[in-house]
C-alpha cells in the first residue's frame, strides 16, 4: 500500500476548539531514596529583561528533587547567593548541610541567552564541572532541564532524563460519550500540547528513535489504522489500514522500520515488520495464537512480543534473521505481557499478574525477575532513555494516572491529572541536536 | 460536502464546550463523532449497556434503513477470559443470520470489546477473538463473508465505567452494528 498523506486539519481544528484549558500533570513524589543527596541550587544571576523573568534555577531544583535522589536547600535559608564558583565559600555551604552547590548566570548575547553553570563539591571544595548553554527566551525551560540532566550525571553517574518528552493518551468523559487526545509534554508534564483529538480511541503512541515522529493507532474511521506523524510539521501518514487489526506499532532503533500487529480479516494476530521507505511488509510470526505488542531489542536484531500460544499470555523473543526460532522468556506468572527492552539491552519490563493485580515486572536477560509496582491495574511500561526509570499507567481511586518507578524500585512518582483519564505513556528519546 | 462537515465538527466542538455534547447530533458522515443510540433500540435485557455503536449507525439511520429488518438484541456478553458464545445467544445469532442471509446487501460490523484488566494491546487481540467467534457463528449459518467486518476496540470503549464485576461484565461484549 502506498503512503497516503491524510488530512488531519479537521481533527486538529476540533482539538483547538473543543479543548478547554485543561489541567496539566502535576508530579508527586510518592517515594524517594532513604538518603537523598543534599545540595543547594542557588538562584542564578538573571538577564533582565531578556530572560522574561524565567527562574532557571527553580526548574533545575524541581527536576532534581522530583528524581527523589536529591534534597535541595530552601532559598530562605541561604545567607548569600553567589553566582560564580570563585565566590562560593565551601565551608559555609558544607556547614549548612550541603554536599554540592550549583551556581549559574544567565546573560544576554545578542538575540540569544547564554547560560553558564558551575557545580562545586563543597565537601572537597573542588569544582566538579562547568557547562555553557545557549537558548532563546522561548526554550529557557528546556535549557534548565539540560542543566538538571548534567548535574544529575555529574553526581549520580548517569545522564538525567529531564530534557525529554513523554507522549500519552488522555480520555475525557464517561462511557459511551468519551473523547480521546494524544498529548506530548515535557517529562515533567509541562509544555503539553494536543497532537490529535478524536471521538474514537487513540492507542499505543510510540516514538521514533530521533524523537521527531510518533506512531499510533487511531480508530477515527471506526476501524483500526496505524499512523505516523511528524511532531514539528504535523505531517501525517496512514501506514497501515488493512482488514482486521492494525495495532501495536513499535519503531526500530534505526528508525527505518515499524514493527506492528496485523490480523487480516481472519482475525489471527501476528507480528509484522513494515519498511517505512519501501512499504515492504515482512511477516515475523505465524501462529494461530494472539501474537502482539512487539518491542525491539536494543540492537534491532530481535523482537520481544506477547503471545498466548501456550495458553495465557507470555513474552517471547524472535530473531529477525531466524524467525523459526521463537523463545519464551517469561515464567513465574500466568500473565506476562507487553515487553519493553531497556535502552542498554540488559533488562526487560512488562506487565505481570500477581494474584488478581496487574503490575509492572522487570527481569534481566538471565531471567531473574522482580515485581516493581504495587498497583492493581498497572500497565504500559516505558523506559526513560537513561534506563533508570519506567513510566507506566496506573489507577488511583478509579482515575487513570501516570506513574514512574526507578528500576531499582527505590523512587516512585505520580503524575496526576485532575481532569480526564491519562494512560498509555511512552517516554521519548533524548533530543537529537 | 467537505466544508459542510467541517462546519459541523466546529459546531460540535462549540456545543461540547457549552456542556451539551450529548445532544449534539452529528451529520450522517461525521466519522469522528458518535452519539448514544436512541433508547428505543435497546431491548430489555441489555438496556443498561446501551452504548455508542450499539444501535444503527448514524449513516444508516439517515439513509432511511428500515429498522424493522434488524433484530433488537445487538449485544452479546462474554465470560471472563472467554470468547465462547453463551448458549443464551444461539437464537439471537440465528435471528441475525436469517436477516443477513435474506438480504446479501446488508452488512454488519462486529465490534469486539474486553474489560479494562490487562495490557491494552493484548486486549485488542482478545476483543478480536470475540468478534471472530461471532463472525464464524454467522458464517456457519450461511452469512456471506463480505457482509461481515470485524473490529476490536479492546478495553478502549467501555460501555460502563468502573472497576466492578458488574462493569467488567457489561464491557466484555460484541456489538453488532448494521452499517447499511
Show the low-confidence residues of chain A (pLDDT under 70). Answer: 1-24, 418, 433
- The number of C-beta contacts closer than 8 angstroms across A and B is 155
* Burial tier of A56 (Cβ tally within 10 Å: 0-12, 13-18, 19+): buried
Helical (H) or strand (E) element with B96: helix B90-102
Write down the pLDDT at residue A24. Answer: 64
Write down the pLDDT at residue A176. Answer: 82
Q: How far apart are CA A405 and CA A90, in angstroms?
A: 34
Residue of A198, A395, A423 lying closest to B32 (CB–CB): A198
- Residues from chain A that touch B154, judged by Cβ atoms under 8 A, are 203
Write down the pLDDT at residue A396. Answer: 86
- Residues from chain B that touch A199, judged by Cβ atoms under 8 A, are 32-34
Domain boundaries, chain A: 7-30+163-427, 36-156
Write down the pLDDT at residue A155. Answer: 98
* Burial tier of B75 (Cβ tally within 10 Å: 0-12, 13-18, 19+): buried
Write down the pLDDT at residue B70. Answer: 56
Mean pLDDT of B149-161: 96
The interface predicted TM-score of the complex, written ipTM, equals 0.91
- Residues from chain A that touch B145, judged by Cβ atoms under 8 A, are 265
Write down the pLDDT at residue A19. Answer: 45
Mutate to test the interface with A, among B14, B34, B74, B120 (most CBs of A within 10 A): B120
Closest alpha carbon within chain A to B147: A265
Mutate to test the interface with B, among A176, A250, A355 (most CBs of B within 10 A): A176
Q: What is the pLDDT of residues B79-104, one digit of tens each?
A: 999 999 999 999 999 999 999 999 99
- Residues from chain B that touch A382, judged by Cβ atoms under 8 A, are none
Dihedral pair phi/psi, residue B101, rounded to 5°: -70, -25
Q: What is the pLDDT of residues B106-121, one digit of tens each?
A: 999 999 999 999 999 9
Residue of B14, B21, B129 lying closest to A290 (CB–CB): B129
Write down the pLDDT at residue B71. Answer: 62
Closest alpha carbon within chain B to A393: B119
Q: What is the pLDDT of residues A45-69, one digit of tens each?
A: 999 898 999 999 999 999 999 999 9
Which class is domain A36-156? alpha beta
Assigned architecture for domain A7-30+163-427: 6 Propeller (2.120)
Dihedral pair phi/psi, residue A135, rounded to 5°: -155, 170
β A389-396/A399-406 pair status: antiparallel
- Residues from chain B that touch A244, judged by Cβ atoms under 8 A, are 128, 150
Cβ <8 Å between A247 and B121: yes
Write down the pLDDT at residue B31. Answer: 35
β B108-113/B148-154 pair status: parallel
CA distance B143 to chain A (A): 15
In A241-335, the DSSP E strands lie at 246-251, 257-262, 270-275, 281-283, 291-296, 302-307, 314-319, 322-328
CA distance A245 to chain B (A): 7
CA distance B41 to chain A (A): 15
Cα angle vertex B122, ends A288, A187, to 5°? Answer: 145
Residues in chain B: 180
- Residues from chain B that touch A376, judged by Cβ atoms under 8 A, are 163
Cβ <8 Å between A203 and B149: no
Q: CA distances (Å), B173 to each of A125, A222, A355, B48, B170, in order?
A: 67, 17, 24, 13, 7
The answer to whether domain A7-30+163-427 and domain A36-156 are alike in fold is: no
Q: How far apart are CA A240 and CA A220, in angstroms?
A: 13
- Residues from chain B that touch A377, judged by Cβ atoms under 8 A, are 116-117, 163
Mean pLDDT of B146-159: 96
Q: What is the pLDDT of residues B3-41, one digit of tens each?
A: 333 333 333 333 333 333 333 333 333 333 322 333 332
Write down the pLDDT at residue A25. Answer: 74
Amino acid at each position: 500500500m502506498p503512503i497516503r498523506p491524510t488530512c488531519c486539519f479537521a481533527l486538529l481544528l476540533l482539538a483547538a476548539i473543543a479543548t478547554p484549558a485543561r489541567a496539566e500533570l502535576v508530579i508527586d513524589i510518592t517515594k524517594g531514596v532513604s538518603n537523598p543527596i543534599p545540595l543547594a541550587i542557588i538562584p542564578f544571576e538573571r538577564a533582565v529583561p531578556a530572560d522574561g523573568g524565567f527562574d532557571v534555577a527553580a526548574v533545575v531544583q524541581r527536576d532534581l528533587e522530583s528524581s527523589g535522589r536529591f534534597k535541595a536547600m530552601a532559598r530562605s535559608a541561604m545567607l548569600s547567593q553567589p553566582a560564580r564558583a570563585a565566590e562560593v565559600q565551601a565551608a559555609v555551604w558544607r556547614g549548612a548541610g550541603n554536599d554540592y552547590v550549583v551556581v549559574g548566570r544567565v546573560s544576554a548575547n545578542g538575540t540569544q541567552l547564554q547560560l553558564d553553570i558551575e557545580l562545586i563539591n563543597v565537601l572537597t571544595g573542588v569544582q566538579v564541572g562547568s557547562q555553557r548553554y545557549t537558548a532563546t527566551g522561548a526554550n529557557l525551560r528546556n535549557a534548565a532541564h539540560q542543566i538538571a540532566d548534567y548535574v544529575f550525571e555529574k553526581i549520580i553517574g548517569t545522564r538525567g532524563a529531564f530534557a525529554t518528552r513523554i507522549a500519552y493518551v488522555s480520555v475525557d468523559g464517561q462511557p459511551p460519550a468519551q473523547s480521546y487526545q494524544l498529548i506530548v509534554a515535557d517529562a515533567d508534564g509541562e509544555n503539553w500540547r494536543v497532537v490529535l483529538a478524536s471521538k474514537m480511541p487513540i492507542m499505543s503512541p510510540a516514538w521514533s528513535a530521533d524523537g521527531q515522529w510518533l506512531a499510533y493507532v487511531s480508530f477515527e474511521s471506526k476501524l483500526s489504522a496505524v499512523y505516523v506523524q511528524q511532531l514539528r510539521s504535523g505531517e501525517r501518514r496512514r501506514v497501515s489500514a488493512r482488514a482486521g487489526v492494525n495495532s501495536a506499532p513499535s519503531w526500530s532503533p534505526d528508525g527505518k522500520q515499524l514493527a506492528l500487529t496485523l490480523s487480516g480479516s481472519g482475525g489471527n494476530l501476528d507480528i509484522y515488520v513494515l519498511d517505512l521507505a519501501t512499504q515492504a511488509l515482512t511477516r515475523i510470526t505465524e501462529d494461530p495464537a494472539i501474537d502482539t505488542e512487539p518491542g525491539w531489542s536494543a540492537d534491532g536484531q530481535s523482537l520481544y512480543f506477547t503471545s498466548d500460544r501456550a495458553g495465557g499470555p507470555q513474552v517471547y523473543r524472535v530473531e529477525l534473521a531466524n524467525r523459526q526460532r521463537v523463545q519464551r522468556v517469561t515464567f513465574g506468572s500466568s500473565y506476562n505481557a507487553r515487553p519493553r527492552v531497556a535502552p542498554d539491552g540488559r533488562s526487560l519490563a512488562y506487565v505481570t499478574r500477581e494474584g488478581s493485580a496487574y503490575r509492572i515486572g522487570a527481569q534481566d536477560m538471565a531471567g531473574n525477575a522482580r515485581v516493581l509496582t504495587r498497583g492493581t491495574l498497572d500497565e504500559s511500561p516505558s523506559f526513560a532513555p537513561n534506563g533508570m526509570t519506567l513510566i507506566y499507567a496506573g489507577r488511583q481511586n478509579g482515575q487513570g494516572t501516570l506513574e514512574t518507578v526507578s528500576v531499582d524500585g527505590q523512587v516512585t512518582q505520580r503524575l496526576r491529572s485532575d481532569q480526564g483519564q491519562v494512560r498509555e505513556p511512552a517516554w521519548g528519546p533524548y533530543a537529537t541536536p | 460536502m467537505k466544508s459542510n462537515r467541517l462546519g459541523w465538527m466546529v459546531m460540535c466542538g462549540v456545543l461540547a464546550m457549552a456542556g451539551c455534547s450529548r445532544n449534539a447530533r452529528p451529520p450522517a458522515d461525521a466519522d469522528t463523532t458518535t452519539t448514544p443510540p436512541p433508547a428505543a433500540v435497546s431491548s430489555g435485557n441489555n438496556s443498561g449497556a446501551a452504548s455508542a455503536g450499539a444501535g444503527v449507525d448514524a449513516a444508516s439511520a439517515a439513509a432511511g434503513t428500515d429498522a424493522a429488518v434488524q433484530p433488537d438484541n445487538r449485544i452479546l456478553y462474554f465470560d471472563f477470559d472467554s470468547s465462547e458464545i453463551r448458549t443464551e445467544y444461539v437464537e439471537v445469532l440465528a435471528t441475525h443470520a436469517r436477516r443477513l442471509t435474506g438480504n446479501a446487501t446488508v452488512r454488519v460490523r462486529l465490534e469486539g470489546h474486553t474489560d479494562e484488566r490487562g495490557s491494552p494491546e493484548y486486549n485488542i487481540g482478545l476483543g478480536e477473538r470475540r468478534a471472530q467467534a461471532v463472525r464464524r457463528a454467522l458464517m456457519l449459518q450461511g452469512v456471506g463473508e463480505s457482509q461481515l467486518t470485524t473490529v476490536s476496540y479492546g478495553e478502549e470503549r467501555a460501555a460502563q465505567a468502573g472497576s466492578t464485576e458488574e462493569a467488567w461484565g457489561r464491557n466484555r461484549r460484541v456489538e453488532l452494528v448494521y452499517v447499511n
